[in-house]
Amino acid sequence: MDKHEITDEGGSPEIVLQVKDGLLDDRSAASMSELFKALGDPTRIKIIHALLQHELNVHDLTVVLGMGQSAVSHQLRYLRNLRIVKRRKEGKTVYYSLDDNHIEQLFVLTLQHLEHD
């Protein structure tokens, strides 16, 4: 697309081209969509919030969330596949924590946005 293909209806062809050239590629957009989809589930949000506070095993998460082990394990597997949480094995016990601080930052910024007047 060049400037001649852009109709001038009050817009700026230069800006349109600049934005179009800087637009996310399809793969990045799909990955971001998957991340936001994962964060769109209240149970997964509660798991992330719990893991923001402390590394926990599945049993502890079931107690905190008041859910069954199977349901919690399913959600943890989903979050692990997206690299939102990671696991660490200690003997027979598996502990879960956030994969990195980016999820924490995203979570904190989202809470700040919601609390902003």
* CB 93 within 8 Å of CB 57: yes
Least Cα distance to 27 among 19, 35, 39 occurs for: 35
pTM across the whole model:
0.81
Cα–chain-centroid distance for residue 68? 23
Domain containing 108 equals 41-117
Both 26 and 67 in one domain: the answer is no
Domain count along the chain: 2
**Helices 42-53, 69-81: inter-axial angle, 10-degree rounding:** 80
Place of tokens 């924490």: 104
Location of structure tokens 């506070």 = 53
Does 82 share its domain with 116? Answer: yes
CATH assignment of the domain containing 112:
1.10.10.10
Over residues 43-96, the pLDDT tens digits come to 999 999 999 999 999 999 999 999 999 999 999 999 999 999 999 999 999 999
Q: Are residues 31 and 78 in the same domain?
A: no
**What integer best gives the mean pLDDT of the chain?**
92
Indicate if 94 and 48 belong to the same structural domain.
yes
Is the domain of 53 the same as that of 8? no
Q: Alpha-carbon distance 47 to 25, whole Å?
A: 30
The verdict on 48 and 32 lying in the same domain is no
Asked if 79 and 115 sit in the same domain, the reply is yes
Question: Are both 33 and 45 inside the same structural domain?
Answer: no
